[in-house]
């Protein structure tokens, strides 16, 4: 008997306020745009007035098996639209429960695709940022865990405020594509 074809559907939620001036995030999006198993959902483009259609977001989340949050690090944090999205969309009954019952997100995988202005060395305990990036991402990763998403790690490119070469960006985007195309998750 033939096995049913099971495709892992991935939702990439993009939260960059100005993709026309972006290098890293725009590069990544150009690289993945033809992937059939991936839905790219650009929050700033979808909601220019910042008013999020919560039902629509819930439907999108239900329809996918893996959720990727793609954003540039702004002030050691997510961009403001992504925080607005968390507050509006991740609500009790849908995204989390208090009685141990599964949420609508339970069992789905999640990972982060971040772009970072400072270098990796800056994000060392003796660097200017004083702690590694994963410590800054802790509120996000804990939010995902609280919503019963299975957090897998993050894919990052550092040093974007410096003259990051086109080659580095191309390699970053190719690795991003490889992960998404194969429904793999980043290590780390
Ligand atoms: C408002 C703002 C805040 C930023 N805050 C940080 C930060 O806290 N840490 C950091 O490493 N880079 C920071 N950056 C740099 C961005 O992370 C970087 O420009 C971005 O990841 C590059 O991606 P892009 O080419 O897609 O725009 C900031 C940039 C802006 C505009």
Domains of the chain with CATH codes: 10-181 (3.40.50.360)
Atom index in ligand 1 nearest the CA of residue 72 equals 21
CB 104 within 8 A of CB 59: no
Say if ligand 1 is within 6 A of residue 20 CB. no
Say if ligand 1 is within 6 A of residue 47 CB. no
Helix (H) or strand (E) holding 38: strand 38-42
Say if ligand 1 is within 6 A of residue 116 CB. yes
Structure-derived torsion over alpha carbons of residues 86, 89, 92, 97, reported in degrees to the nearest 10 = -70
> 44 or 187, which is more confident?
44
Q: φ and ψ at 10, to 5 degrees?
A: -115, 135
pTM here is 0.96
Say if ligand 1 is within 6 A of residue 115 CB. yes
Q: What is the pLDDT of residues 118-156, one digit of tens each?
A: 999 999 999 999 999 999 999 999 999 999 999 999 999
CB atoms within 10 A of CB 153: 15
Q: What is the pLDDT of residues 82-122, one digit of tens each?
A: 999 999 999 999 999 999 899 999 999 999 999 999 999 99
Say if ligand 1 is within 6 A of residue 22 CB. yes
> 163 or 144, which is more confident?
144
Residue located nearest, by CA, to atom 30 of ligand 1? 74
Which pLDDT value is given to residue 1? Answer: 55
Closest CA to 148 of 184, 114, 180, 100: 100
Which pLDDT value is given to residue 3? Answer: 53
Which pLDDT value is given to residue 2? Answer: 59
Supply the mean pLDDT for the chain: 95
Which pLDDT value is given to residue 187? Answer: 82
CA 128 to chain centre: 25
Structure-derived torsion over alpha carbons of residues 135, 139, 141, 144, reported in degrees to the nearest 10 = 180
Task: Kindly state the percentage of the chain with pLDDT values over 90.
Answer: 91
């Amino acid at each position: 008997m033939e096995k049913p074809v099971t495709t892992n559907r991935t939702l990439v939620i993009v939260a960059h306020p100005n993709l026309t001036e972006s290098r890293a995030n725009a590069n990544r999006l150009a690289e993945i745009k033809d992937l059939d198993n991936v839905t790219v959902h650009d929050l700033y483009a979808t909601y220019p007035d910042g008013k999020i259609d919560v039902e629509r977001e819930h439907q999108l989340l239900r329809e996918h098996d893996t959720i990727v949050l793609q954003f540039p690090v702004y002030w050691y944090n997510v961009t403001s639209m992504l925080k607005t999205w968390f507050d509006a969309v991740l609500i009790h009954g849908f995204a989390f429960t208090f009685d141990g019952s599964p949420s609508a997100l339970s069992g789905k995988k999640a990972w982060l695709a971040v772009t970072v202005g400072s270098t990796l060395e800056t994000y060392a305990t003796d660097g200017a940022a004083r702690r590694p990036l994963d410590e800054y991402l802790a509120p996000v990763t804990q939010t995902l865990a609280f919503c019963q998403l299975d957090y897998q790690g993050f894919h990052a490119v550092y040093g974007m405020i410096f003259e990051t070469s086109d080659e580095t960006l191309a390699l970053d985007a190719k690795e991003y594509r490889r992960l998404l195309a194969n429904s793999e998750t980043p290590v780390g």
